[in-house]
Amino acid sequence: MKRRLILILLLSVVAAAILVWLYGVASDPASGRRRSSWDDIIADLDACARRKHIRALQYEHFADIAISEQRQEAERLFRALAFSERLQEQNCVKAIQRLGGSYTTPQQIHLFGGSTDGNLERSIGVERRSFEKRNGAEIRRALDRGNRYAARILIWASATDLRNIFLMECRNSVDDQSFAVCPVCGNIYASKYLDRYCPHCLTAGEQFIRFE
């Protein structure tokens, strides 16, 4: 009986000690931060979401200008680009929220305007400089931290940036001037070259949103 009582007391002490330790760890913000913080990854996703938001607005503005100039082929391209950028912004926002962060859309945005040809050249320059400046650094950070989910979202965004540049540079070589956008990852195609499945997220080609 006495041994059983001593054993029960020892177990109670051990259990109490474990509870005190768990409480201390949970209440130590620095410890929790070391364990689960994705601050640098969230910052990269936030920057990507903001960039995509601004470009979506800019492309929508360029599409309106193209319509006023009766440049329907350019208007379709800009509308497809804007839709793609919106989808990628949403993907970044979802990732931010899943990682415990929050997102606020940019407030003061200055839209540029000019002729459609000038807007296309400006867009190519902006996309190229932005892509070269990042040079995949945010993707490497996510992979180095073991966050494959964030890395996938950032890879989708970066790959589509390259596709945007290609479509704008080669716009005159696309016969039908119609475009299709994957509704999941925002991957964008000239409709003539649409794959059966999106190579980024494997969404079936028939589900793509058409801009014709």
What angle (nearest 5°) sits at the alpha carbon of residue 73, between those of residues 90 and 212? 65
pLDDT in the model for residue 113: 83
Rounded to 5 degrees, φ, ψ at 179 are -135, 155
- Helix, strand, coil distribution of the chain in percent, nearest 5: 70, 5, 25
Give the residue extent of every domain in the chain. 36-173
99's tokens: 């990682």
Q: Give the alpha-carbon dihedral of 7, 11, 14, 16, to 10 degrees.
A: -130
pTM beyond 0.75: the answer is yes
* 59 in Cβ contact with 87 (< 8 Å): no
CA distance 154 to 88: 9
Sort residue 176 into left (φ over 0), alpha (ψ -120 to 50) or beta.
alpha
CA-nearest of 35, 63, 75 to 177 is 75
Q: Taking the chain (212 residues) in consecutive chunks of 10 residues, what is each chunk's mean pLDDT?
A: 46 42 45 61 96 96 95 92 96 95 89 90 90 90 93 93 88 70 91 84 90 88
pLDDT in the model for residue 169: 87
The secondary element (H helix, E strand) that includes residue 211 is: strand 209-211
CA-nearest of 168, 169, 167, 140 to 155 is 140
Other CB atoms within 10 Å distance of the CB of residue 209: 14
Which residues partner with 209 through β-bridges?
Answer: 181
* 106 in Cβ contact with 116 (< 8 Å): no
Secondary-structure class of domain 36-173 per CATH: mainly alpha
